[in-house]
Amino acid sequence: MRFLLDTQCWLWWFTQPEKLSEDVIEQIADETNEVWFSVASVWEMGIKVSIGKLPLPEPIDDYVPTRMTQLGAKLLEIKASHALRVAALPLHHRDPFDRMLIAQAQIEDMTLVSADFTFNQYEVSLLWAAS
C-alpha cells in the first residue's frame, strides 16, 4: 500500500509515537508499504517554524531530510493536477495544506494517514492515526 502521512502524524512518529494507533505503526513499519511525505507538509512545517509555533531540535532543512531517510519515506511533489483538484473539493475543510493532502491522496491513489476528523467528509482512503 501507499501511505501519505499528514503533517501531524509525521511529527507524532518522531516525537510522540504513543499517540499513533498500533495499526498505523505496523503499516508504516511494514517495508512492503510505501510511505510518502508531501511538499505541502514541508511547507506547512516551514511556516510554523518561522513563526515560532513548531520548535524543532535542529534546523528544518536538516530535520526533514534526516527523518525522511530514517523512515524510508518518499517526497511527494505538488503537481498542477493536485492544485486543480483542490479547487474542486467541497469546503468541508478550509486548511489549504490539508486540502492539498486530500487532493494528492485522491489523485495518486494513496491512503491518507491522519487523526483529523474532517478528512472523513471527503472521498479519500483514510487510515485513522490516533491511538
- The grid coordinates of residue 55 equal 520548535
Give CA–CA dist 19/13, Å, rounded. Answer: 8
Q: What pLDDT does 54 receive? A: 96
What is the full per-residue pLDDT of the chain (131 aa) written as tens digits? 999 999 999 999 999 999 999 999 999 999 999 999 999 999 999 999 999 999 999 999 999 999 999 999 999 999 999 999 999 999 988 899 999 999 999 999 999 999 998 988 999 999 999 88
Q: What pLDDT does 6 receive? A: 96
Q: What is the number of domains present in the chain?
A: 1
Give CA–CA dist 110/104, Å, rounded. Answer: 8
- The grid coordinates of residue 83 equal 492544485
The CB density around residue 126, as the number of other CB atoms within 10 Å, is 17
Model confidence, pTM: 0.94
Q: What pLDDT does 93 receive? A: 82
Q: What pLDDT does 94 receive? A: 86
Q: Provide the residue range defining the domain that includes 103.
A: 2-128
**What's the CATH code of the domain at 10?**
3.40.50.1010
Give CA–CA dist 81/55, Å, rounded. Answer: 32
Q: Which residues contact 122 (CB under 8 A, 6 or more apart)?
A: 89, 90, 92, 93, 102, 106
